[in-house]
Amino acid sequence: MRRICAAVFAGAAVLAVLCASAGAQTYPNRPVRMVLTFGAPGGAPDTIARTLGPELSKLWSQQVVIDPRPGGGGMLATDIVSKATPDGYTIILVSPSHVINPALHSKMPFDAVKDFVAITQVAEVPNILTVHPAVQARSVKELVALAKAKPGALAYASSGVGSSQHLAGELFREMAGINIVHVPYKTGAAANLDLIAGRVQVGFASTTSVPHIRAGKLVALGVTSAKRTGALPEVPTVSESGLPKYEAAAWYGVLAPARTPVAIVKQLHADIRKASHAPELVQIQKQLMIEPTFSASPAEFDAFLARERRKWGEIVRKSGAKID
């Protein structure tokens, strides 16, 4: 009798392993939805999603549906995904707004930590410290000296309160010990237009400003990432050109709803990394100053998110920025 029971239990264990293996092998067996928090055509999130999506589709033999849901500084899309079925068929591409929003809002419809599981970082995009050509500064040191000589006289544009551009400016202001005025716009494009027109003097511009820099309509003083970018190799980092240890690049990464099975989280991590190495994808992204950047594991990306929450939460508190 004992032998029969042992055989039954052993058979059940083998069956469980086989079923789990079969489940892992069949994911995904239908389209996967990638939700975007920001989806302006030609912007970094749109470009990342629309270059990564087709490569994942090839790998999975399943369609990846790109679903932009802009609104609420990224919170509309994030709320949708927080309530999605945790089965791997709904994922989200997030940016620094994911770690900034909890510091900006007193009430949120989801928990930015508990309602999600980290998959991997996929890209880093530096902002570019730029000035209007009429500004008498051609380096970070000269800009800091000018701001100290004329407190409150310089204004910097951003794509909105709590945006990566806004907080890049606040970090710069604090580390440099200067008084410059923040002027928020509804979009980065609107901020660029006023910067080009000279209505504001300084900007922490997105990659869309590169053509204006090359045309001489804007002057680039430094990139906000830790390393120079291949798209503008002649432009130093802010850190190396006058403000040591300054770093404020925008980043993008993939999350899934909390309680997504561990096996699917691991597969998403591995497959997204593999798809992101496609030569055509890398070439397109780098032309737009998008640097493919990956996490060694979901746990590494989770730890990165925790550091970013602490860093930008402190900057938000010091700036006094609040949306509600």
Q: Is the pLDDT score of 3 beyond 80?
A: no
Query: Average pLDDT in the 247-273 region?
Result: 96
Average pLDDT, the chain: 89
Alpha-carbon gap, residue 132 to 216, rounded angstroms = 9
Per-residue pLDDT at 252: 95
pLDDT confidence of residue 110: 96
In this structure, the answer to whether residues 35 and 121 fall within a common structural domain is yes
How far is Cα 200 from Cα 277, in angstroms, rounded to an integer?
39
Query: What are the Cα distances from residue 254, in Å, to 95, 146, 207, 294?
Result: 9, 40, 21, 10
**pLDDT one-digit tens code per residue, 42-61:** 788 899 999 999 999 999 99
Are both 203 and 150 inside the same structural domain?
A: yes
For 95-115, what is the mean pLDDT?
93
Q: What does the pLDDT read at residue 310?
A: 95
Are residues 315 and 169 part of one domain? no
Same domain for 173 and 208? yes
Name the residue range of residue 191's domain: 128-223
Give me the number of domains the chain comprises: 2
Same domain, 136 and 169: yes
Specify whether 188 is located in the same domain as 257: no
CA end-to-end span of the chain, whole Å? Answer: 69
What's 182's domain CATH number? 3.40.190.10
The residue-averaged pLDDT of 82-97 equals 96
Is there a single domain that holds both residue 141 and residue 116? no
Is residue 190 located within the same domain as residue 273? no
Asked if residue 199 and residue 155 are part of one domain, the reply reads yes
Q: Which of 206, 223, 240 is the endpoint of a domain? A: 223
pLDDT digits (tens, 9 = 90+) for 131-167: 999 999 999 999 999 999 999 999 999 988 888 889 9
Rounded Cα gap, residues 122 and 124, in angstroms = 7
User: What is the percent of the chain where pLDDT is above 70?
Assistant: 92
Domain presence at residue 173:
yes
Q: Of 204, 223, 242, which residue sits at a domain end?
A: 223
Position 25 confidence tier, pLDDT thresholds 50, 70, 90: low
- The answer to whether residue 163 is domain-embedded is yes
Q: Is residue 235 in some structural domain? A: no
200 in a structural domain: yes
In a domain, 269, yes or no: yes
CATH number of the domain enclosing 309: 3.40.190.150
Cis peptide before 28 (omega within 30 of 0): yes
Question: Between 85 and 287, whose confidence is greater?
Answer: 85
Q: Taking Cα atoms as reference points, which of 319, 11, 324 lies closest to residue 173? A: 319
In a domain, 12, yes or no: no
Token pair for residue 265?
Answer: 């989280």
- Rounded to 5 degrees, φ, ψ at 13 are -65, -45
Shared domain for 121 and 132, answered yes or no, is: no
Residues 6+ apart with CB under 8 A from 15: none
**Does residue 5 have a pLDDT over 80?**
no
Same domain, 120 and 144: no
Predicted model pTM: 0.85
Residue 132 placed within a domain: yes
184 and 118 within one domain: no
191 occurs within a structural domain? yes
Residue 182 clears pLDDT 80, i.e. is over it? yes
